[in-house]
Amino acid sequence: MFAQRLRPRRLRISENVRSMVRETTLSVKDFVYPIFVVPGENVCEPIPSMPGCNHLSVDKAVELAKEIASLGIPAVEVFGLPEYKDEIGSSAWDMTSPVQRAIAAIKKEVPDLVIVGDVCLCQYTTHGHCGRLDGHYVDNDATLPLLQNVAVSQAEAGADIIAPSDMMDGRVRAIREALDDRGMTNVSIMSYAVKYASGYYGPFRDAADSAPQFGDRKQYQMDPANAHEAMKEVDLDIAEGADIIMVKPALAYLDIVHRVRERIEYPVAVYNVSGEYAMVKAAAQNGWIDEKRIVLETLTSMKRAGADIIITYHAIDAAKWLKE
C-alpha cells in the first residue's frame, strides 16, 4: 500500500497548532468606521438600505465616536448630507456644514481618534456628479479648485487624513499643494486611487442622497474590466504625493488589491462598500448565513489579499466579535 508521508492535515490538528501557523490576522486596528452626519440635533435615523447604520446629527456623531474609540477602532471617516445643494457643491466647503462641524466636535471630544474626511462633491451638487459641469460633461480642471476648497476646509476643521473620492485627474497634487501652502504639511492624503464605476455603491447613494441626476460616473470612475489601468492610477497618485492608496470596492477586486500590494511600498486601504455590506446584512436577516462567521472571513480575505486598512460598516460588530 502507498505510504502517505505528506500530510498538510498535521498542522490543522488543534486550535493551538492552527494558531501557530496562521498567516493572516485581523485586528480592530485595521478598521476605519464610516459615519453619515446630517443637519439638526438629537437625530439618529436608521438608513433603510444599510441596516445597522444611521444618519446622525453632530451631537450623536460625537457620542458614537466615543464608542468607536472605546472599542479600540483607530479611525472614522466622515460623510455628510448638507443643509443646501447648488450647481458647484459649495456646501462641501462651508465651515458650518455638518461634516466640518462634526470633524471639529469629534476632534475636540475624542482627540486621539483619527478623522478621515471624504472629499467629493456629489453629495453637495444639485446634479449629483462628483465635479463641476460644463453642459453634461464633468470638467476635470475646473473641479480641482473646488476639491482644494473642500480639502482645506476639512483639514482646518481638524481632519487628520484627506480622502479624495472624486476621480478627477491631478487632484492629489492639487490637494497636496493647497494643504502645504497653508502649512498643513502633516495632514495625510489617502487617495481613492483605484475606484471603479461599480453597482456596489447603490445603498450608499440612497444614504448620502448622492445619485447622479443624469447619466452615470463612467467618464471618471474606472471600468471594472481593467487591471493595468489600476496600476497606472496607483503610480500617478503616488507621484502626486498620496500617502495611502485605496482600492474600492473590495470584494470583487481582491485581485487588484493583491497586485497593488506587490507593486508599491505604501500602505494599501480597501473600501468594503455599502453594497457588499447590504448583501451580507440581507442574507443574515433571512437566516441564510452566519453573519459573524461570514463577516470575519470576508474581512480576513481583504487582509490576506494585502490590505493594511479596511474601511467597513462592519467595524463596530467586528471589533466586538474579535474581543470575544
A 10 A CB-CB count for 271 gives 28
Crossing angle of the two packed helices 171-181 and 228-240, in degrees rounded to 10: 20
Question: Residue 223: left (phi > 0), alpha (psi -120 to 50), or beta?
Answer: beta
> Quick one: which of 209, 199, 196 has its CA closest to 127?
209
Instruction: Estimate the crossing angle of helix 291-305 against helix 315-323, to 10 degrees.
Output: 100
Q: Of 16, 244, 227, nearest to 116 (Cα)? A: 244
**Residue 196 contact among Zn ion, ligand PBG, none, beta carbon within 5 to 8 Å by kind:** none
- Residue 232 has φ and ψ, to the nearest 5°, of -60, -45
Candidates 201, 220, 253, 266; binder of ligand PBG (CB under 6 A) is: 201
Could you tell me the smallest distance in angstroms from the CB atom of residue 205 to ligand PBG?
5
Q: Which of 32, 105, 120, 190 binds Zn ion (CB under 5 A)?
A: 120
Query: Which lies closer to Zn ion via its Cβ, residue 124 or residue 266?
Result: 124
Q: Is 248 a catalytic residue?
A: yes
Residue written as grid cell 469629534: 106
Q: How far is residue 205's CA from residue 48's CA, in Å, rounded to a whole number?
A: 12
Q: Is 49 in the site for ligand PBG (CB under 6 A)?
A: no
- Out of 99, 242, 273, 302, name the contact with ligand PBG by CB under 6 A: 273
Query: For Zn ion, what does the binding mask look like between residues 31 and 70, x meaning CB under 5 A?
Result: ----------------------------------------
254 binds ligand PBG (CB under 6 A): no
Q: Nearer Cβ to ligand PBG, position 86 or 182?
A: 86
The nearest distance, CB 261 to ligand PBG, in angstroms, is 21
All residues at 6 or more sequence positions from 87 whose CB lies less than 8 Å from its CB, including other chains: 125, 126, 127, 133
* Alpha carbon separation from 24 to 165, 272, 283, 315, 318 (Å, rounded): 28, 18, 26, 18, 16
**Does the annotation mark 218 as catalytic?**
no
- Report if residue 92 touches Zn ion, rule: CB under 5 A: no
Nearer to ligand PBG, 224 or 263 (CB): 224
The item of Zn ion, ligand PBG, none sharing an interface with residue 75, based on CB under 5 to 8 Å by kind, is none
Asked if residue 167 binds Zn ion (CB under 5 A), the reply is no
CB of 264 to ligand PBG, least distance (A): 22
State the catalytic residue, choosing from 85, 248, 281, 303: 248
If one counts every other C-beta atom within 10 angstroms of the C-beta of residue 23, the result is: 6
Longest dimension (CA), the chain: 79
- Minimal distance, residue 13 CB to ligand PBG, in Å: 40
One-letter amino acid at 207 equals A
Which one of the listed residues 60, 195, 281, 303 is annotated catalytic? Answer: 195
Angle CA 128–134–135, to nearest 5:
80
Cα separation, 313 vs 324, whole angstroms? 19
Smallest distance, Zn ion to C-beta of residue 171, A: 12
Asked if 143 is part of the footprint of ligand PBG (rule: CB under 6 A), the reply reads no
Q: Which of 107, 173, 205, 292 binds ligand PBG (CB under 6 A)?
A: 205
Q: Does 118 bind ligand PBG (CB under 6 A)?
A: yes
Q: Binding to Zn ion by residue 122, rule CB under 5 A?
A: yes
The item of ligand PBG, Zn ion, none sharing an interface with residue 204, based on CB under 5 to 8 Å by kind, is ligand PBG
Catalytic positions are 195, 248
Binding residues (CB under 6 A) for ligand PBG: these are 118, 120, 122, 130, 165, 201, 204-205, 210, 273-274
